[in-house]
């Protein structure tokens, strides 16, 4: 998952980003509402974590602008504001979830994973594709019932593919959902990751669609 984290407290932003990256997420950070609005309108993210009290443009204003621009990314508001009026304002602006500070990182991750899963059209937390299974609550992959060991980049690619199994994901979109905005990306890096995944889950499961991108193909149930 690639997450946009909008938080003006640098220490808290750093702590949250480290926690998200430890769970294999790619994270871009915006420290004010102006940058947040721009990133949310121009970059591709699986979800956003958005504070309400921001310099430049408050979180509700950022969210309103995103929705007005047609940006449908799931948004979890993370704020110290507990008042009912603030929650109503956030949901009216287009928030999908609301979590107050202080919070547990584990709860933040569970909520984010649920938002991303539902946005991809999956009602159940366990997603399967042949012998491959993904528990979206824990982030764990299994192959033939056994845990599958993946690097962070392999996890990001495979999670994108299984969330949209049997759908072609454009190469550029896959790159944008896997790498952080300031990453120096080698032109062949995605192909290298795909090659490693094929060795781990089977050469035929990930199909290359020439001129477009990649698709995780799931065998029909017997």
Judgement on whether residues 7 and 31 belong to the same structural domain of the protein = yes
Judgement on whether residues 114 and 132 belong to the same structural domain of the protein = no
Domain residues for 12? 2-119
In a domain, 222, yes or no: no
CATH number at residue 169: 1.10.10.10
Q: What pLDDT is recorded for position 220? A: 67
Q: What pLDDT is recorded for position 182? A: 73
Out of 119, 154, 178, a domain closes at 119
In a domain, 221, yes or no: no
Q: What pLDDT is recorded for position 81? A: 93
Judgement on whether residues 115 and 136 belong to the same structural domain of the protein = no
Q: What pLDDT is recorded for position 193? A: 94
Out of 61, 94, 119, a domain closes at 119
Q: What pLDDT is recorded for position 188? A: 85
Judgement on whether residues 111 and 17 belong to the same structural domain of the protein = yes
Judgement on whether residues 97 and 164 belong to the same structural domain of the protein = no
Judgement on whether residues 86 and 145 belong to the same structural domain of the protein = no
In a domain, 8, yes or no: yes
In a domain, 132, yes or no: yes
Domain count, the chain: 2
CATH number at residue 30: 3.40.50.2300
Are 30 and 6 in contact by the 8 Å Cβ rule? The answer is yes
Judgement on whether residues 167 and 143 belong to the same structural domain of the protein = yes
List per-residue pLDDT tens for the chain, 222 residues long. Answer: 899 999 999 999 999 999 999 999 999 999 999 999 999 999 999 999 999 999 999 999 999 999 999 999 999 999 999 999 999 999 999 999 999 999 999 999 999 999 999 999 999 999 999 999 999 999 999 999 999 999 999 999 999 999 999 899 999 999 988 888 777 777 688 999 999 999 999 989 999 999 899 999 988 654
Judgement on whether residues 132 and 190 belong to the same structural domain of the protein = yes
């Amino acid at each position: 998952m690639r997450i946009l984290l909008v938080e003006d407290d640098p220490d808290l932003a750093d702590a949250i980003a480290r926690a998200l990256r430890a769970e294999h997420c790619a994270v871009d950070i915006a420290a004010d509402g102006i940058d947040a609005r721009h990133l949310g309108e121009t970059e591709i993210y699986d979800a956003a974590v958005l504070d309400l009290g921001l310099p430049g443009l408050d979180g509700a204003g950022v969210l309103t602008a995103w929705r007005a621009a047609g940006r449908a990314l799931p948004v979890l508001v993370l704020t110290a504001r507990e008042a009912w009026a603030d929650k109503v304002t956030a949901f009216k602006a287009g928030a999908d979830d609301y979590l107050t500070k202080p919070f547990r990182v584990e709860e933040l991750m569970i909520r984010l994973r649920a938002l991303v899963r539902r946005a991809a059209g999956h009602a159940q937390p366990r997603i399967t594709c042949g012998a491959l299974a993904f528990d979206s609550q824990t982030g764990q992959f299994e192959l033939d019932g056994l845990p599958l060991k993946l690097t962070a980049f392999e996890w990001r690619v495979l999670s994108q593919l299984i969330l949209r199994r049997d759908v072609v994901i454009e190469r550029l979109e896959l790159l944008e959902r896997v790498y952080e905005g300031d990453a120096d990306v080698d032109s062949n890096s995605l192909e290298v990751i795909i090659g490693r995944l094929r060795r781990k889950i089977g050469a035929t499961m990930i199909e290359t669609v020439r001129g477009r991108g990649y698709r995780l193909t799931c065998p029909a149930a017997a």
